Amino acid sequence: MRELVVLGTASQVPTRHRNHNGYLLRWDDEVILFDPGEGTQRQMLLAGLPVTPLKRICITHFHGDHSLGLPGILQRISLDRVPHPVTVHYPAGGQAFFDRLRHATSYWDNAEIVPGPVGAGFAVETSAGRLTALPLRHSIETYGYRLVEPDARRMLPELLARHGISGPAVGELQRTGRFGDVTLEQVSTVRTGQRFAFVMDTGLCDSVYALAEGVDMLVIESTFLAEDAAMAEQVGHLTAGQAAAVARASGVRKLVLTHFSQRYQDAERFLDEARKEFDGPIVIAEDLLRVPLPARRPAP
């Protein structure tokens, strides 16, 4: 099961229809919560999601709309006795903010929370693939995240049968790349890895393109419309058109726009502006929406 569950979509302040940010990526058994804003614990409840499967929390930056929900989530992880460690990634320069949110109130703290500060060259291997981060252009230290599943090989049963390979021989072939005269390439095909990027709170910069390059799903902030492009530039945010142009230039397969300013009443306008730049699937995020990852790209 690979999908994005949108928990909140509002920039700066929640509105009657949009909670503060919050995005849960379910990638088989790697379940990652991105940017838990205020109220994320309750949004997870409304989405029918327990905290127990959470393996990792990724925070782009310590503005409240991306992190005020962290204390509630961490305390819930303790209360529900999540039996495995949960790693939290956050900008290393925001250590003081993390320390405060980690111990915001008194509670029976019995969870294993592993701090994973992010700095230059950050990369970790997860069960979903390699997770990296790049610095963005915002008013405080901010990182975007990128998850890349390595390509693998898919065994083809009819070719295995034709070469008389079955049982333990299949395992040996997968481990060593060969069984007798038969090579792995003869009986398998490439299973292309999937890629995901999460880009919040930034003006346009090289990192935005590097994070988005060739991803199956790009979740990206789209705070403003073109009429406010000058302000967006000034405060370190993107317009819908800019975000969509990044998706086009980077070969993104599915574009998810979010982090909307409350100044606009009609969300259709974000779609209209994005559509002029990107002709692939565009999702204008709404709270509690579930967005499946597109099907795996065919083998080259």
CB of 132 closer than 8 Å to CB of 148: yes
Residue 38 near Zn ion by CB under 5 A: no
**Residues whose CB is less than 8 angstroms from the CB of residue 1 and which lie 6 or more positions away in sequence, other chains included:** 26, 28
**11 binding Zn ion? (CB under 5 A):** yes
Identify which of residues 65 and 277 has a Cβ nearer to Zn ion in the complex: 65
Q: Which is nearer to Zn ion, 172 or 233 (CB)?
A: 233
Q: Say which amino acid occupies 138.
A: H
* Closer residue to Zn ion (CB): 179 or 270: 270
Q: Which stretch binds Zn ion (CB under 5 A): 11-19, 30-38, 42-50, 74-82?
A: 11-19
Active-site residue, 65 included: yes
Q: Smallest distance, Å, CB 280 to Zn ion?
A: 25
Cβ closest to Zn ion, residue 238 vs residue 255: 238
Question: Which range, of 8-16, 102-110, 158-166, 172-180, touches Zn ion by CB under 5 A?
Answer: 8-16
Nearer to Zn ion, 30 or 65 (CB): 65
Residue 239 within binding range of Zn ion, rule CB under 5 A: no
* Residues 53-82, mask of contacts with Zn ion (x by CB under 5 A): ----------x-x-----------------
Coarse DSSP helix, strand, coil percentages of the chain, rounded to the nearest 5 percent: 30, 30, 40
Binding positions for Zn ion, 196-235, rule CB under 5 A: 201
> Could you give the count of Cα atoms lying within 13 Å of 274 in the half-sphere of its Cβ?
28
Q: What residue has token string 């902030």?
A: 221
Q: Which stretch binds Zn ion (CB under 5 A): 36-44, 100-108, 176-184, 194-202?
A: 194-202
Residues forming a β-bridge with 256: 219, 283
Instruction: State in angstroms the smallest separation of the CB of 61 from Zn ion.
Output: 6
* Minimum distance from residue 125 beta carbon to Zn ion (Å): 28
Where does residue 111 rank: exposed (0-12), middle (13-18), buried (19+ CB within 10 A)? Answer: buried
Q: List the one residue out of 187, 180, 178, 212 whose CA is nearest residue 197.
A: 212
- Which DSSP helix (H) or strand (E) runs through 167? none
* Window of 7-15, 80-88, 153-161, 167-175 that interacts with Zn ion by CB under 5 A: 7-15
**Whether the Cβ atoms of residue 237 and residue 201 lie closer than 8 Å to each other:** yes
The answer to whether residues 93 and 122 touch, using CB atoms and an 8 Å cutoff, is no
Backbone angles phi, psi at 2, to 5 degrees: -125, 115
Nearest-CA neighbor of 90 among 211, 215, 200? Answer: 200
Size of the site for Zn ion (CB under 5 A): 4
State in angstroms the smallest separation of the CB of 260 from Zn ion.
10
* DSSP at 191: E
Per annotation, catalytic residue among 35, 65, 201, 287: 65
Round to whole Å and give the CA distance between 270 and 200. 16
**215-226 core/surface letters (b: 16 or more CB in 10 A; e: else):** bbbbbbbbbbbe
- Least Å distance, CB 285 to Zn ion, is 13
The residue among 136 and 215 lying less far from Zn ion, judged by its C-beta, is 136
CB of 265 to Zn ion, least distance (A): 19
Binding site for Zn ion (CB under 5 A): 11, 63, 65, 201
Question: Which residues belong to the active site?
Answer: 65
